[in-house]
Structure 1
Amino acid sequence: MQHPPPVTHQPRRAAAAAFIGTAIEWYDFYIYATAAALVFGELFFPSTDPFISTMASFGTFAVGFFARPLGGVIFGHLGDKIGRKKALMTTLVMMGVATVGVGLMPTQLSTPWVAPALLIVLRIVQGISAGGEWGGAVLMAGEHAPAGRRMFYASFAQLGSPAGMLLSLLAFRAVTSLDHADFMAWGWRVPFLASALLLVVGIFIRISVGESPEFEREKQRQRTVKLPIAEVFRTARGLVLLCIGANTLGIAGVYFTNTFMISYTTQYFGVPRSLILDCLFVVAVIQFLVQPLAAYCAEKIGTARFLKLTALAAMTTPYPMFLLVQSGDRVSLIIGIALAVVCLASFYSVIAGFMTDVFPTHVRYSAISLSYHVCAAIAGGLTPLAATWLAHRFTGQWWPLALFFSGLAVLSLVCVVALDAMKSRRGITFEAVSTP
């Protein structure tokens, strides 16, 4: 009979599992985003006007975001009732199956109407899975953390985002080296089919991690509630709204720089697809290196102070970014996009741990999942669409896009300031108003 691993190993094991599991989940989510920017418009929504095809393609991309709050509610409930681990195993399998399904499906050219409908269904499954994944991964890492290290350990789940981006860019960079006909015929499918291998790796790793010790203690104390999401709505609607706003920069910003900028640079500045993917790969490496450093710095100077400073810095970055990007050369593209990504990635790495301190264990999965994924549905799903519309409406002018990005940072800053004030005034705010 095999014995469970020593308890002292569990914090590191949980952090590693959160990182690898979310990297796989976000790989699946990001390859869809990349394909939506590069090929889905032509394959599934062909039109004589590239703007119409791109908008339709980004529309299916947005559908996945609108499904994420549903996933957050479903798996938040399961995670708060039966455990974080079981919920996370289910979300991983769902995402892998849906992603492989996209790689196997026919295109609009062979099955008009059926293919776009199937694409939307599979995207909804992806969205539900992602909606359940994030909150559980953050909590499994954070709730296993040693005393006083919750924020840093929770940041490992956030680190899965740039890792997934790196994997997705590597996968698409490999297939974009094919000639156009082969890429459009079968090459784009390879990154989706490769998810089957990653799924096996993710399941193997997550099996080795025990259940959250904080959840187990709450279960023994019988502090679970019948319907966690109802408890959240009853006692913390205002806090949830502030958390939704606080997440805006980290969520919307990444889809602005890593999804919209692909179509923007290729359509308006004639940047080759391979070049922008190479540039985004370098930026993703920078993001991957910056996030753990940002989490460490936040522990030293205070999480709320760090979030405020990074949001303020992010407000200024889109202006030099667009001045550099419009040149179209490799170095300027990397520097310009990296300026914005360093700020939003630093913010993103810390915001998860900041939120987990707001809510108590017995409803925490439901509360943070709802907050994060409602924001994802609105800010993440609509950002590429809104930015695409602005680029089309103000052709040749980048300042409306820069103002739009600054507005995302302002919203997050205001909400972080409000949350910090409430926490300072009443301690862990939700605990102060929730039932014992």
Structure 2
Amino acid sequence: MTPIVAASGARSQMRRVATASYVGSAIEFYDFFIYGTAAALVFPTVFFPELGHVMAVTASLGAFASAFLARPVGAAVFGHFGDRIGRTQTLVVTLLLMGVATVGVGLLPSTASIGIAAPLALIGLRLIQGFAVGGEWAGAVLLSAEHAPEGRRGFYGMFTQLGLGTALVLSNLVFLVVHTAFADSSQAFLQWGWRIPFLLSAVLIAIALYIRLTVSEPTAVGADDREALPGTPIGVLMRRQGARVLLAGGAAICAPMLVFQAGTFFTHYAADHLGYSTNLVLTVSVLGGFFAIAFAAASAISSDMWGRKRVTAWAVALAVPWSVAVFPLIETRDPAVFGVAMVATYALIGACMGPMAAFLPELFAARYRYTAAALSHTIGAIVGGALPPVLSPALLNAAGSTAVAAMMGALALLSFACVAALPETAGRRATRR
């Protein structure tokens, strides 16, 4: 094979990898995010109608957060098989599980129809979603990072993060279209209109599955490496780099904290307490998703030039004061201020998450890298994504917006401290032990 042909083949393979990482990530997180939107706007009425307003919202957001209980299990299980068997086969399983759970939510009868079985089944399906997504992100970023040429892992890792930003746009856009279509019949929207975004997932999953099956296994982790690993990947990881898993998890807190506060708690608060129309709230979120995509791309590409740690540290440092200020700004009850605050939040989300697809995998040895990246990302998602939306309503009722702002600022500051404690990784080889 001539060098020109080999180079052409490598470029073609990288395009397939980038497309598979992008599309798979977009569709898996679309499934994850539409649940969050529905939890804020629909589920308190459909699945928790007998509870008081505050308790119904808390229960709905608690059901949303239940997925994070299953994410560490998914991270450990899929990390094990991803390190032992391979990235691509594992990602096919996560995709299918997510699709089944999401379509199941769309088909689930309401509490009015089948009683308490409805919210219990809702939580069960959400746990399956969490189990699947626990192994999704790490596998998707490793496809990119381990195929990418030296010096361009930030760029190719970007596509997984763009998928997450695209999922923000898609999930809010689909709900916006459906809600607008049912503008004259809110009852019909609550009965069956909200199910359309979930059922649409079946088509999207089929597309992503087809694309993922065209991608080969990265050469960074070969059969010899897997067989030589002494003990289970998670056991070896904890013995060799356990402290780094915790630091990496802390570094990953900031982005999900802002994502899920903006996508669930802020969305509910704006529609329910501030009286903004659902269409306005969803439109602002769609616009914010585009800013998340743009800033994720900029920060990921910049990390190839200036370093993962430096770019991430700057983004998280900016997020610390913003995390304190954003909720008081939303509480001004000015629609324009609300829109700017939300869009700026999504821009910061993009800046924080852009380098992570290269940064986290580069922190760990190849033989247990899937497990390590999955667990560290999951730690950040649990602390940053699960707890704040559930705690925020209670904090708001007990101590006002200052308590919510203080919690968010403290989490962002913790994330910054963990980033500062980690080493720079740009320029290191991803194929070495």
Taking a change above 3 Å as real, the CA distance of residues 247 and 319 of structure 1, as seen in their structure-2 partners, is closer
> How large is the RMSD of aligned CA atoms in angstroms?
2.1
Cα distance, 1:206 vs. partner?
A: 0.6
Cα distance, 1:339 vs. partner?
A: 2.1
Q: Deviations over 1:85-113 (max 9, x none)?
A: 00000100110011001111111111111
Q: Deviations over 1:85-144 (max 9, x none)?
A: 000001001100110011111111111111111111111110111011111000001111
Counterpart residue number, 1:65: 68
Whichever residue aligns with residue 296 of structure 1, its letter is I
1:10 pairs with one of 8, 13, 23: 13
TM-score w.r.t. the length of structure 2 is 0.93
The whole-number CA distance in structure 1 between the counterparts of 2:133 and 2:118 is: 22
SS in 2 for 1:420: coil
Counterpart residue number, 2:410: 407
Counterpart residue number, 1:229: 234
**Aligned partners of 2:63 and 2:126 also within 8 Å:** yes
The whole-number CA distance in structure 1 between the counterparts of 2:379 and 2:303 is: 25
Q: Deviations over 1:244-282 (max 9, x none)?
A: 111100111210112110111122211121111111111
The whole-number CA distance in structure 2 between the counterparts of 1:221 and 1:182 is: 53
Whichever residue aligns with residue 231 of structure 1, its letter is V
Counterpart residue number, 2:195: 189
The whole-number CA distance in structure 1 between the counterparts of 2:249 and 2:364 is: 14
Cα distance, 1:149 vs. partner?
A: 1.3
Q: Deviations over 1:197-243 (max 9, x none)?
A: 00110011111111112123x63685444410111112221111111
Q: Deviations over 1:30-79 (max 9, x none)?
A: 01011111111111111352110000011111111110111111110010
For residues 161-310 of structure 1, the aligned pairs below 5 Å read 161-177=164-180, 178=182, 179-216=185-222, 219=224, 222-310=227-315
Counterpart residue number, 1:74: 77
Taking a change above 3 Å as real, the CA distance of residues 220 and 6 of structure 1, as seen in their structure-2 partners, is farther
- Is residue 144 of structure 2 the alignment partner of residue 138 of structure 1? no
The whole-number CA distance in structure 2 between the counterparts of 1:24 and 1:175 is: 18
**Aligned partners of 2:83 and 2:226 also within 8 Å:** no
Please say which of residues 321-330 and 28-37 is displaced more in the overlay.
321-330
Query: Could you list the runs of 5+ residues in structure 1 that have no partner in the other structure?
Result: none
Q: Deviations over 1:313-361 (max 9, x none)?
A: 1112245533542344443222111222222321111123111111111
Whichever residue aligns with residue 195 of structure 1, its letter is S
Aligned length, in residue pairs = 422
SS in 1 for 2:220: helix
**Aligned partners of 1:282 and 1:334 also within 8 Å:** no
**Aligned partners of 1:18 and 1:140 also within 8 Å:** yes
Whichever residue aligns with residue 268 of structure 2, its letter is S
Cα distance, 1:27 vs. partner?
A: 0.4
The whole-number CA distance in structure 2 between the counterparts of 1:270 and 1:17 is: 40
TM-score w.r.t. the length of structure 1 is 0.92
Taking a change above 3 Å as real, the CA distance of residues 32 and 420 of structure 1, as seen in their structure-2 partners, is same
**Aligned partners of 2:146 and 2:218 also within 8 Å:** yes
Whichever residue aligns with residue 101 of structure 2, its letter is A
Please say which of residues 333-342 and 258-267 is displaced more in the overlay.
333-342
Counterpart residue number, 1:93: 96
Q: Percent identity?
A: 36
Whichever residue aligns with residue 130 of structure 2, its letter is G
**Aligned partners of 1:324 and 1:335 also within 8 Å:** no
Whichever residue aligns with residue 88 of structure 1, its letter is L
- Is residue 110 of structure 2 the alignment partner of residue 107 of structure 1? yes
Please say which of residues 329-338 and 275-284 is displaced more in the overlay.
329-338
For residues 256-405 of structure 1, the aligned pairs below 5 Å read 256-394=261-399, 397-405=400-408
The whole-number CA distance in structure 2 between the counterparts of 1:193 and 1:215 is: 36
The whole-number CA distance in structure 2 between the counterparts of 1:190 and 1:29 is: 15
Counterpart residue number, 1:52: 55
The whole-number CA distance in structure 1 between the counterparts of 2:143 and 2:370 is: 10
Q: Deviations over 1:349-385 (max 9, x none)?
A: 1123111111111100001101111332232111101
Whichever residue aligns with residue 214 of structure 1, its letter is A
**Aligned partners of 1:250 and 1:344 also within 8 Å:** yes
The whole-number CA distance in structure 2 between the counterparts of 1:359 and 1:319 is: 32
Counterpart residue number, 2:151: 148
Taking a change above 3 Å as real, the CA distance of residues 127 and 144 of structure 1, as seen in their structure-2 partners, is same
**Aligned partners of 1:311 and 1:412 also within 8 Å:** yes
The whole-number CA distance in structure 2 between the counterparts of 1:205 and 1:328 is: 45
**Aligned partners of 1:168 and 1:191 also within 8 Å:** yes
**Aligned partners of 2:324 and 2:409 also within 8 Å:** no
**Aligned partners of 1:324 and 1:333 also within 8 Å:** yes
**Aligned partners of 1:254 and 1:344 also within 8 Å:** yes
Please say which of residues 383-392 and 97-106 is displaced more in the overlay.
383-392
**Aligned partners of 2:18 and 2:144 also within 8 Å:** yes
- Is residue 42 of structure 2 the alignment partner of residue 39 of structure 1? yes
The whole-number CA distance in structure 1 between the counterparts of 2:203 and 2:230 is: 38
The whole-number CA distance in structure 1 between the counterparts of 2:215 and 2:287 is: 32
SS in 1 for 2:238: helix
**Aligned partners of 1:14 and 1:140 also within 8 Å:** yes
Please say which of residues 126-135 and 220-229 is displaced more in the overlay.
220-229
